[in-house]
Chain A
Amino acid sequence: MSKNGYLQIHDPLKPKGQAVGIDLGTTNSLVAAVVQDKPRCVPVDEGDSLLLPSVVHYAKDGGVVVGARARRLAPEHPDDTIASVKRFMGRSPDDAETRKLGHYRFVPGAKVVRFDVAGGTPVTPIEVSGEVLRALKRRAEAHFSTKVEQAVITVPAYFDDAQRQATKDAGRLAGLEVLRLLNEPTAAALAYGLDKGSQGTYAVYDLGGGTFDVSILKLEDGIFEVKSTGGDSALGGDDFDRVIAQHVLQTMGVTEPSPSLVAEVLAASRKAKEALTDAPEVQLTVGSHTQTVKRADFDAWIQPLVQKTGLVCRRALKDAGVTAAELDGVVLVGGATRVPAVRRYVAEVFGREPLGDIDPDQVVAMGAAVLANLLTTVDRQDDVLLLDVIPLSLGLETMGGITEKLIPRNSTIPMAAAQVFTTFKDGQTGLDVHVVQGERELVQDNRSLARFTLSGIPPLAAGMARVEVRFSVDADGILSVSAKEQSTGVSQSITVKPSHGLTDEEIEQMLLDSIDHAEEDIQARQVREQRVDAERVLAEAERQLREHGDLLQEGERPAIDAGMARVRELMKGEDHLKLKEAVHTLDEASRPFIERVMNQAITQVVAGHSVEEY
């Protein structure tokens, strides 16, 4: 049990356990919590790693593996191991981005993306993300030895409504109450600003595994006001890997690589990219193929991608009404900002050296933890407040397929806006409403969020019936739409959700299914706790045998050794009851010996020696 665990259990202000912040990343995910006033990331994977690779493997027996282990299974089972699932969130199967990503087996004809994986049932991106979140939740619970039920989950600032809704649904599926969806650059600013006590106007440049965001924020007296945000929800370090992989496959002379080869080359490319941060050139090996990759070549390959971010930065500055020179600093976030060419480019665009003194991988989760802590504090005494914005304009389709914007991008949320529509035919009783998100003038170039027909309008002469359509965006950046017929006072209120997610019924069913697994979750925690216990007992037994082996009596050693072997064996398994029993047996077998050790110690103290000598 961790030291923090005790404190958390007895904190009467936290009846719901430990509130956490989660950075649900394209490549890696992290979980952090505020402990003793400081945000800290929690170990969540092999070797106490703070980064959980966002990779989920579905095994034939229906089992699910998440993290580094899943990533190692990818080359052998490319179809059953889903990586970078964040790039599929809230996207439809016929989305260009979806097709670009896929070596996976998709279920054909489905309205939402479904991966056909081993284990029987096809899974949606929401479920895959749900598995990553569930793994983070469980591992955080094991770390704190307390429940984790409330979380702030971060999303790219540039995520649209469908992507946000999908992320929130994934949180629900994992059994988490999503306290807030927090924009990643804002999370970073929160961690940064509070840590450094910064004031002024800052740009946060966040290049993650699969998404790019830039936000311009004004920090003043604890208020973090986002002035503007921009980004590209399909651009990140993953794309750098792909660029390297393309060149490698070309060098290898392979034109139609198998999915496993692609997975292998991508893994090697990622390693090469990371190594090139410190080395001017690296050796890349795939099977029997070896080649040198020079940093200068890599820089040239990724240049077009990196330059795409510059345009976005300039527009964000313009939207915020500031120039680069007026900024007080530029903060780097996201693993891909480790690439030297990216750093150089950011320095060039903003005309200054960027700051990066908080680990760019951890800073987002830390900021989320800070907000989770604030949101679960009763009777707040601080004056910290985040004023965030929506990244993309929300509007309606009007005559001729033109987008009419109701809420412009960079509006502070929560926000609402209403528009009055009139009927254009005599006796018209229905009105088609098409909700879209994006900046383009033509509806077809924007993201379609929902379509519905308002019916039950009283039949009146053209132009007489007035229908007010109202958009409300909540603090998570999620939209709901309601409509009211004004002329007769008949109010018909409906709430619309985006069409690319799962329906509420589907989520409910999945939640029910996951309750079946809840038993397993408790079991998993007990196994984990029992293992920690067993480890402690083993270590103690080994120490006593090493230091006081002379006190063993005839025939004792084999029983203790057998007991230890049994404990070691069962520690590998999942049966915590058997493990507990074995620990007890070992305890019993070594008791006479341990008593002798203690007796001798006491005797020697009495005889004038100090315990320290032993």
Chain B
Amino acid sequence: MRTHFDVFGLPRAYDVDVPALEKQYRELSLLWHPDRVAQADARERLKALEGTTALNEAFKTLKDPVRRAFYLLKLHGIDLDREDAGAQKDMPLEFLEEVMELREALDGAMEKKDLARARSMATDVEARRKAALAEAAGTLRALEGGGGGADLVKKASHALGRVRYFTRFLEQVDAFEEESLS
């Protein structure tokens, strides 16, 4: 299977030199973009469209550390974005308790239209998200470095499950904030 790393000719790894990636993205876009071959025959244009679509997907995934982490996990067989997301049910019990606690607190703040409370919760959750992402990054580095197997995958999956939840939580606060201001 051709991976997003293959599109850029990069070795599979958690760490990516983003400025270099960006430069390469621009060079490849100039070569592959459909607009650059608008006068070519239909086959060539379709190739350009497919190539550029793959390039844009790969760039979007690799330039962002969070997306990159989820993608690496997917390459290890766990797709947290899948709709049924069996993996999500697999989360440890204490995390589910944490989720319920946060959920209740945010619902309370939103009910009372307490923007200040929601914001301070967001600051706290942002820190938890960062910590979870750092843990995921460390685990994925170890995994890609060739160390360990199923245990590390599970650890990375739990860390990213938390990242995913915290991100959604922050999005909700954002939406609440926008609603309150408008």
> What is the interface of chain A, defined by CB distance below 8 A to chain B?
179-180, 220-221, 223, 311, 315, 371, 374-380, 383, 385-387, 398, 404, 411-417, 419-422, 441, 463, 472, 474-475
Across the interface, do B34 and A414 meet the contact criterion of CB distance under 8 Å?
A: yes
User: How far, in angstroms, from A143 to B56 measured CA to CA in the complex?
Assistant: 40
A220-B26, A375-B35 are known; give 16 further A-B pairs, CB within 8 A: A223-B26, A311-B182, A375-B39, A378-B39, A379-B39, A385-B29, A386-B35, A398-B83, A415-B56, A415-B57, A417-B57, A419-B83, A421-B84, A422-B84, A472-B53, A474-B49
Looking at the assembled complex, report how far the CB atom of B32 sits from the nearest CB atom of chain A, in whole angstroms. Answer: 10
Closest CB of chain B to A310's CB: distance in Å?
Answer: 10
Q: How many angstroms between the C-alpha atoms of A377 and B38 in the bound complex?
A: 8
**Distance of A311 Cα from B180 Cα, bound (Å):** 12
Docked CA distance A415–B82 (Å): 19
Within 8 A of A (CB), among B41-89: 49, 52-54, 56-57, 59-60, 79, 81-84
Query: Would you give 26 A-B contacts (Cβ < 8 Å), ordered by A?
Result: A223-B30, A311-B178, A311-B182, A371-B35, A374-B38, A375-B35, A376-B38, A376-B39, A383-B30, A385-B29, A387-B33, A404-B83, A411-B60, A412-B59, A414-B52, A414-B56, A415-B53, A416-B57, A419-B81, A420-B83, A421-B83, A422-B83, A463-B84, A475-B34, A475-B49, A475-B52
Write out the residue numbers on chain B whose beta carbons fall within 8 Å of the beta carbon of A472.
53
Residues of B contacting A179 with CB < 8 Å?
38
Instruction: Name the distance in Å between A463's Cβ and chain B's nearest Cβ.
Output: 7
Q: Which residues of B contact A (CB under 8 A)?
A: 26, 29-30, 33-36, 38-39, 49, 52-54, 56-57, 59-60, 79, 81-84, 175, 178, 181-182
- Distance to closest chain B CB from A171 (angstroms): 16
CA distance A420 to B182 in the complex (A): 37
A421 to B83 CA separation, bound complex (whole angstroms): 6
Report which of A221, A378, A398, A411 forms a contact with B56, defined as CB distance below 8 A. A411
Which A-chain residue is minimally distant from B38 (CB atoms)? A375
The 6 closest A-B pairs by CB, nearest first: A375-B38, A414-B53, A412-B56, A378-B39, A416-B53, A422-B84
Closest B-chain residue to A387, C-beta based?
A: B29
A463 to B122, CA, bound (A): 36
State A404–B57 Cα separation when bound (angstroms): 18
Complex Cα gap A463–B83 (Å): 11
Which A-chain residue is minimally distant from B84 (CB atoms)? Answer: A422
Which single residue of chain B is at the shortest CB-CB distance from A374? B35
A411 to B67, CA, bound (A): 13
**Nearest B residue (CB) for A386:** B35
Q: Report Cα–Cα, A116/B130, bound state, in Å.
A: 59
B contact residues around A414 at 8 Å (CB): 34, 49, 52-53, 56
Q: When chains A and B are docked, how far (Å) is the Cα of A417 from the Cα of B182?
A: 32
In contact, B175 and A441 (Cβ under 8 angstroms): yes
Please, which residues of chain B bring their CB within 8 A of the CB of A180? 35
Distance in Å: Cβ of A218 to nearest Cβ of chain B = 10
Q: Are B30 and A385 in contact (CB under 8 A)?
A: yes
A128 smallest CB distance to B (angstroms): 29
Q: Are A475 and B39 in contact (CB under 8 A)?
A: no
Bound Cα distance A535, B20 (Å): 63
Rounded to whole angstroms, the CA-CA distance of A180 and B26 in the bound complex is: 21
The answer, among B36, B53, B54, B56, for a CB contact under 8 Å with A385, is B36
Report B39 CB to chain A, min CB distance, Å.
5
Give the distance in Å from the alpha carbon of A138 to the alpha carbon of B52 in the complex. 35
Contacts of B182 in A (CB 8 A): 311
Beta-carbon contact of B33 and A385 below 8 Å: yes
CA distance A383 to B59 in the complex (A): 20
Could you tell me the distance between the alpha carbons of A385 and B27 in the complex, rounded to whole angstroms? 11
Write out the residue numbers on chain A whose beta carbons fall within 8 Å of the beta carbon of B56.
411-415
| Residues on the B chain within 8 Å of A379, using CB | 39
Within the complex, which residue of B26, B38, B49, B79 is in contact with A420, where a contact is CB–CB below 8 Å?
B79
